Chain A
Amino acid sequence: MLMRLLNVSNFSVAKKWVHKNLFSSWASALITIFCFYIILKIIPAGLDWLLFSADFVYNFRGEQIIDRTFCSKVIEPGQHGACWAIIIVRWNQFMYGFYPVEEIWRVNIVFALTPFALLPLFFDKVIFKKQLIYFTFIFPFIAYYLLYGGPGLTEISTSKWGGLLVTLFLGVTGIIIAFPFSILLALGRRSKMPVIKSVSVIFIECIRGVPLITILFFGNIMLPLFLPDGVNVDNLLRGLVAMTFFAAAYMAEAIRGGLQAIPNGQLEAARALGLSYWQSTIQIVLPQALRISIPAIVNSAIGVLKDTSLVLIVGLFDLLGIGRAALADMNWMKLSHEVYAFVAIIFFILCFSMSRYSLYLEKKLKTDNSI
């Protein structure tokens, strides 16, 4: 078996590949060797820190870690592994913020149901698609009822929400609400009706013209000054509105790029066939425009998800914010490497799966031209 794998032809193919790609010239050979050296240096050290020398629940003496003074690297100068106990002990905070422990099951149900609600939106061939679509539409109400509370469930004010819950809430809800909104804005910007056009242009340019932080500040701090007394919009909701506006403005421009790529002849042909504006837009222009703008849309969606970490400045604890708060606890301070590494890993998983999904979508739409 081994002999067959290493047979002459295979070996020479491999040799050719190596020669062509890694050692084609002196310079490339040097770069290859240098890169291998770096990889060999970094990866074992990184894995060692992340996993092999790291503390999880117990330190190297076998004691359970309850604060930083139990971390192996704090006790023993020679120890250098990560001390993941800060994440493990404060896991609930990282996931749910200050959500009461006895009510966490509600968040878990929402987390568990979210994929079912999103599946029919994101994939074509899903079993029970019809039924799931209905579920998708009622899901926001179920989620709201479970998370916030209502008849039969204790009310949990959004100031208690935090961690991954807030990151996902702002990111996912913001992107989903912003998407239809951004299509309308993009169409509005290309519209021939002056009012609609100018409203869209003003909205997009005003939002794009200022940093997200400014919009967050405006939503969170200025807005209450203008509202009549007694009217109090929820803090998290204000953050969500700001994120949604921001996402919509950026996605609208991405979609406009797609719209402009559609040759005018197509619209004229549709007109000639007697299709109305909406018919030709929905059936001819948008399907093609959206397909073209997928990479740009996903790009801004990823950006929006990462931008949720800015809400810390308006006093909302997203995943990163809750990590920073953990570092301010005297019992855990200075374990910043662990916290930032953990937050980075979570964000990477979220963003990487989004970019993989967009690749899948592009491939699918290339082979099959109908939407």
Chain B
Amino acid sequence: MKYIKSLMVALTVVLFTSASFADTLNDVKARGMLKCGSNTGLVGFAAPDDAGVWKGVDVDVCRAVAAAVFGDANAMEVVPTTSKARFTVLQSGEIDMLARNTTWTFSRDVDLGLEFVGVNYYDGQGFLVPASLGVSSALDLDGASVCIQVGTTTELNLADFFRMHKMEYESIPVETNDEADAAFLAGRCDVYTTDQSGLYAQRSTYPNPDDWVVLPEIISKEPLGPSVRHGDSKWADVVRWSLNTMIIAEEMGITSANVDSHLSSDNPSILRLLGKEGAYGAMLGVNNDFGYQIIKQVGNYGESFERNIGLSTPMAIARGVNSMWTKGGLIYAPPFR
């Protein structure tokens, strides 16, 4: 068994490092279109609107890469992938990159042959409770009944959390999100737990969203980020710096609305980002103005966040840990120089 496994791994490595995969950037340019693997539909992260245009935080990363490579954010196609198929689809070369709320973990990064290029959303498992429960911290949840989706890592995290704090709970297993929703609203459980972004989405559809509270505790780390195939650093750089450009733009206060006025800025680091100075685009193998195109067509990270999942949307997710590092959050990009 062990031999078969290592043989499979060796075969996979041989297949994936073969010449044709080595230069994704050229393949993408030759095709004239980016194939970006995303979700089959996840509120705020990737979903088609009424006109069939894909929108969401993850889709914006795809759009940014398309803007960097082609100068046209629309030169990409979203390939919907399921959670089971996503990695294989990436490895078979059917998609050029994966931006599908995928948690960056050791085994995925090392064993699955992926290369995560950054984090575009810091998620984590949280708790949703009715405000009437009068609870303000997850540490007050001793004895609570908890609705939980069976067979997920959330189940394990929950058990660990309660055991660690020597608390008791009664688990109410549910199969799907919709079922959890119904059970929770009907009062069959006091607490519903899943990733916080999911809890916010859930809450936004309740009749009176203010009657429900997402507790501040996060009991697991779920950094979600775009990934590419192992072994093509050049392409990984393109995706990484497309995402970083969006983050740096927010840090510098450059938005899609005011980017044109920054073209004549006195700040050299802004001029570098927008491609007015230096040859950073050429180093990356794309047009020199790729930073300008990303910001102009997709916007900075904060804009993307607000537009898709921010407080003005039904999702109403506060920036929280996803604030800029200058505002106490975790969103940080290395300098552009």
A-B contacts, 23 of them at CB < 8 A, read A92-B52, A93-B48, A93-B52, A159-B79, A217-B85, A221-B85, A224-B93, A225-B91, A229-B18, A313-B84, A313-B85, A315-B80, A315-B89, A321-B80, A325-B47, A325-B48, A328-B47, A329-B48, A329-B50, A330-B313, A331-B49, A333-B201, A333-B205
Contacts of A90 in B (CB 8 A): 50
Interface string of A307-346 (1 = CB under 8 A from B): 0000011110100010011111111011010000000000
Residue in contact with A317 in the complex, picked from B42, B80, B89, CB distance below 8 Å: B80
Q: Are B39 and A328 in touch, CB under 8 angstroms? A: yes
- Chain B stretch 75-126: residues in CB contact (< 8 A) with chain A: 77, 79-82, 84-85, 88-89, 91-94
Contacts of A217 in B (CB 8 A): 84-85
CB of A224 to closest CB in B, whole Å: 4
Task: Give B42's nearest chain A residue, CB to CB.
Answer: A328
Q: Are A225 and B50 in touch, CB under 8 angstroms? A: no
Task: Give B92's nearest chain A residue, CB to CB.
Answer: A224
A98-B52, A230-B20, A315-B82 are known contacts. Are A324 and B77 too (CB-CB below 8 A)?
no
Q: Are B178 and A336 in touch, CB under 8 angstroms? A: yes
Contacts of A151 in B (CB 8 A): none
Residue in contact with A221 in the complex, picked from B41, B42, B77, B88, CB distance below 8 Å: B88
Could you tell me the distance between the alpha carbons of A19 and B52 in the complex, rounded to whole angstroms?
58
Contacts of A225 in B (CB 8 A): 15, 91-92
Contacts of A159 in B (CB 8 A): 77, 79
CB of B12 to closest CB in A, whole Å: 8
Residue in contact with A315 in the complex, picked from B40, B52, B181, B207, CB distance below 8 Å: B40
CB of B314 closer than 8 Å to a CB of A: yes
CB of A89 closer than 8 Å to a CB of B: yes
CB of A233 to closest CB in B, whole Å: 11
Could you tell me the distance between the alpha carbons of A313 and B44 in the complex, rounded to whole angstroms?
20
Interface string of B308-319 (1 = CB under 8 A from A): 100001110000
The total of chain A residues at the interface (CB under 8 A) is: 34
Q: Are B41 and A328 in touch, CB under 8 angstroms? A: yes
- Chain B stretch 44-65: residues in CB contact (< 8 A) with chain A: 44, 46-50, 52
Could you tell me the distance between the alpha carbons of A202 and B145 in the complex, rounded to whole angstroms?
51
Contacts of B48 in A (CB 8 A): 93, 98, 325-326, 329
Task: Give A217's nearest chain B residue, CB to CB.
Answer: B85
Could you tell me the distance between the alpha carbons of A313 and B83 in the complex, rounded to whole angstroms?
9
Q: Are A314 and B40 in touch, CB under 8 angstroms? A: no
CB of B43 closer than 8 Å to a CB of A: yes
CB of A220 closer than 8 Å to a CB of B: yes
Task: Give A235's nearest chain B residue, CB to CB.
Answer: B94
Q: Are A315 and B81 in touch, CB under 8 angstroms? A: yes
Q: Are B40 and A312 in touch, CB under 8 angstroms? A: yes
CB of A75 to closest CB in B, whole Å: 10
Q: Are B41 and A324 in touch, CB under 8 angstroms? A: yes
Q: Are B43 and A330 in touch, CB under 8 angstroms? A: yes
Residues of B in contact with A, size category: 35 or more
Residue in contact with B43 in the complex, picked from A69, A314, A329, CB distance below 8 Å: A329
Could you tell me the distance between the alpha carbons of A98 and B77 in the complex, rounded to whole angstroms?
11
Contacts of A327 in B (CB 8 A): 41
- Chain B stretch 176-215: residues in CB contact (< 8 A) with chain A: 178, 181, 201, 205, 207
CB of A77 closer than 8 Å to a CB of B: yes
- Chain B stretch 137-181: residues in CB contact (< 8 A) with chain A: 178, 181
CB of B174 to closest CB in A, whole Å: 15
Could you tell me the distance between the alpha carbons of A199 and B181 in the complex, rounded to whole angstroms?
50
Contacts of B42 in A (CB 8 A): 328
Task: Give A92's nearest chain B residue, CB to CB.
Answer: B52
Interface string of A88-99 (1 = CB under 8 A from B): 011011000110
Contacts of A324 in B (CB 8 A): 40-41
CB of B285 to closest CB in A, whole Å: 21
| Pairs of residues from A and B, 7 with the lowest C-beta to C-beta distance, nearest first | A328-B41, A328-B47, A325-B41, A334-B205, A229-B20, A224-B92, A98-B52
- Chain A stretch 189-219: residues in CB contact (< 8 A) with chain B: 217
- Chain B stretch 9-43: residues in CB contact (< 8 A) with chain A: 15, 18, 20, 39-43
CB of B167 to closest CB in A, whole Å: 31
Could you tell me the distance between the alpha carbons of A225 and B20 in the complex, rounded to whole angstroms?
13
Contacts of B93 in A (CB 8 A): 224
CB of B283 to closest CB in A, whole Å: 28
Residue in contact with B40 in the complex, picked from A93, A224, A235, A325, CB distance below 8 Å: A325
Residue in contact with B85 in the complex, picked from A77, A220, A230, A331, CB distance below 8 Å: A220
Contacts of A325 in B (CB 8 A): 40-41, 47-48, 80
CB of B328 to closest CB in A, whole Å: 27
A93-B48, A98-B52, A224-B92 are known contacts. Are A314 and B85 too (CB-CB below 8 A)?
yes
Contacts of A313 in B (CB 8 A): 82, 84-85
Contacts of B207 in A (CB 8 A): 77
Contacts of B80 in A (CB 8 A): 315, 317, 321, 325
Contacts of A92 in B (CB 8 A): 52
Interface string of A292-314 (1 = CB under 8 A from B): 00000000000000000000111
Interface string of A224-236 (1 = CB under 8 A from B): 1100011000010
Could you tell me the distance between the alpha carbons of A103 and B295 in the complex, rounded to whole angstroms?
32
Task: Give A315's nearest chain B residue, CB to CB.
Answer: B80
Q: Are A330 and B314 in touch, CB under 8 angstroms? A: yes
CB of A213 to closest CB in B, whole Å: 9
CB of A332 to closest CB in B, whole Å: 8
Q: Are A224 and B52 in touch, CB under 8 angstroms? A: no
Q: Are A329 and B85 in touch, CB under 8 angstroms? A: no
Could you tell me the distance between the alpha carbons of A89 and B51 in the complex, rounded to whole angstroms?
9
Could you tell me the distance between the alpha carbons of A162 and B94 in the complex, rounded to whole angstroms?
19
Task: Give A337's nearest chain B residue, CB to CB.
Answer: B178
Contacts of A334 in B (CB 8 A): 181, 205
